[in-house]
Amino acid sequence: MDKVRKTTGDASWFVRDRFGMFIHWGLYAQPARHEWVKHNEEIPDERYDTYFRHFDPDLYKPELWAKAAADAGMKYFIITTKHHEGFCLWDTKLTDYKAPNTPAGRDLLTPMVKAFREQDLRVGFYHSLIDWHHPHNIIDPHIGPYRNRPDRVQMNKGRDQAKYARYLHGQVRELLTKFGKVDVLWFDFSYPKPDGSGKGHKDWQSEKLYALVRKLAPHIILNDRLDLPESWDIKTPEQFQPREWVRINGRRVVWEACQTFSGSWGYHRDETSWKSVDQLVQMLVDSVSKGGNLLLNVGPTGRGEFDQRALDRLAAMGVWMKRHSRSIYGCTQAPNGFQTPQDCRLTYNPQTNRLYVHVFAWPFVHLHLDGFAGKVEYAQLLNDASEIKFANSSEFALHGQIQPASSSRNALALTLPVQKPPVTVPVIELFLKRS
Ligand code: GLC
């Protein structure tokens, strides 16, 4: 097996736990049409302030969120402490633009962290580098509500990016010192342009910020969006599934796909492109089969709830995880030599030496596994531990009327029930022989 690039932070739990919840929650939950609404509709501060004045999540019970995540089988969560709009969920000393000053009237982050810890989930903070509210963040021509303003240059008079960087660093210090152990830090994002017009490590003073993070939290897992070529632990493909184990400079890396239920990260009332439970479970399996994690996002409403579409999907994933988490936790890509059959994904637990065949399209009775002959001691369906019989594919084909396929010599043929087991993605658990 190729070696995986070493992380500086402690990723040992991360590559075991595999499944986390992303939460995007801020003022944008109220317009309910994407967390980029301020940028998309070029809404000036005065108008965006309406949402600040009306933010009143009266049904907010983070225990319910944590329970929904734990029941789905998630093992960590990552919450937007501040998104690009600049609004802060906690009682930061560095700005007034925070939840305690809205009708919510309180720090919303502390009880959330507590609730998720009580459900044994690890804690991660997303923190936006971009800030569309801070008076010292320079307005650039690419991103933000004022990017197209003819008086942009004028508006930048008196803005001092270094002051913004100081604010950013100060907030990170708060986040890493006031909430107990934080396991993941997820900065978002840099967009340096060749002509210097975008934003990157110079604007955030990323080297200094990195040093601060490592000083305050040496163990923390850091994502890859500070615009520093080497100073990161995980890669974060967003809204797509990589075709194979993610590599950087030829080396396998620790990675996590982040995905939405419906396209938007913040609560979006009218979005209709919700993924099915099948797709969602398959995305989780697909990630693990390539050595990665899945971070699946929920955008709670302005009243502080997960909406029903999210709850239904989380619950259904939990039903699947209850019987199949053995093929997820502690698992990774299968060793070389085991070929992935058509319409399937393989995962492997190196500790138990079991290999898992996830069948995305249920075939008729026979599933041929190339490269598996002589390697399997016992096979069963994972959902009910019912035995699955198998034979060498070449023997099997000779009983029939046709020539064995050319690859049959090393293949194993599983005999499956005609009917697909009543689960979202059926899994066959193979106990491998110790070699
Ligand atoms: C992006 C978007 C954003 C979202 C994030 C999640 O970079 O700006 O709204 O928070 O990705 O990966």
Annotate the chain with three-state secondary structure.
CCCECCCCCCCCCHHHHCEEEEECCCHHHCCCECCCHHHHCCCCHHHHHHHHHHCCCCCCCHHHHHHHHHHHCCCEEEEEEECCCCCECCCCCCCCCEHHHCCCCCCCHHHHHHHHHHCCCEEEEEEECCCCCCCCCCCCCCCCCCCCCCCHHHHCCCCCHHHHHHHHHHHHHHHHHCCCCCCEEEEECCECCCCCCCECHHHHCHHHHHHHHHHHCCCCEECCCCCCCCCCCEECCECCCCCCCCEECCEECEEEEEECCCCCCCCECCCCCCCCHHHHHHHHHHHHHCCCEEEEEECCCCCCCCCHHHHHHHHHHHHHHHHHHHHCCCCECCCCCCCCCCCEEEEEECCCCEEEEEECCCCCCEEEECCCCCCEEEEEECCCCCECEEEEHHHHHHHCCCCCCHHHHHCEEEECCCCCCCCCCCEEEEEECCC
Q: List residues bridging with 21 in a β-sheet.
A: 77, 296
Is 80 exceeded by the pLDDT of residue 342? yes
Atom of ligand 1 nearest to the CA of 36: 9
Taking alpha carbons only, the member of 177, 61, 34 closest to residue 115 is 61
Residues in the chain: 435
pLDDT at 78: 98
| Residue spans per domain, the chain | 14-326, 344-432
> From ligand 1's centre to the CA of 223, what distance in Å?
13
Atom of ligand 1 nearest to the CA of 22: 6
> Pseudo-torsion of CA 206, 244, 335, 345, nearest 10°?
130
Q: What is the CATH number of domain 344-432?
A: 2.60.40.1180
Tell me if domain 14-326 and domain 344-432 are identical in fold: no
For the record, the structure tokens of 268 come out as 């979006």
Q: What is the CATH number of domain 14-326?
A: 3.20.20.80
| Average per-residue pLDDT for the chain | 96
Confidence tier at 392 by pLDDT (50, 70, 90): confident
Confidence tier at 407 by pLDDT (50, 70, 90): low
Give per-residue pLDDT as tens, 56-111.
999 999 999 999 999 999 999 999 999 999 999 999 999 999 999 999 999 999 99
Confidence tier at 138 by pLDDT (50, 70, 90): very high
The residue whose C-alpha atom lies closest to atom 12 belonging to ligand 1 is 238
The structure's pTM equals: 0.97
Q: Which of 78, 188, 236 maximizes ligand 1 atoms within 8 Å of its Cβ, making it the mutation to test the pocket? A: 188
> From ligand 1's centre to the CA of 188, what distance in Å?
7
Average pLDDT over residues 391-395: 80
Percent of the chain predicted with pLDDT > 70: 96
Is 60 exceeded by the pLDDT of residue 401? no
> From ligand 1's centre to the CA of 36, what distance in Å?
9
| Cα–Cα distance for residue pair 58/104, rounded to 1 Å | 7
The residue whose C-alpha atom lies closest to atom 2 belonging to ligand 1 is 188
> From ligand 1's centre to the CA of 78, what distance in Å?
13
Give per-residue pLDDT as tens, 196-229.
999 999 999 999 999 999 999 999 999 999 999 9
Amino acid at 204: W
Place of tokens 């969120």: 65
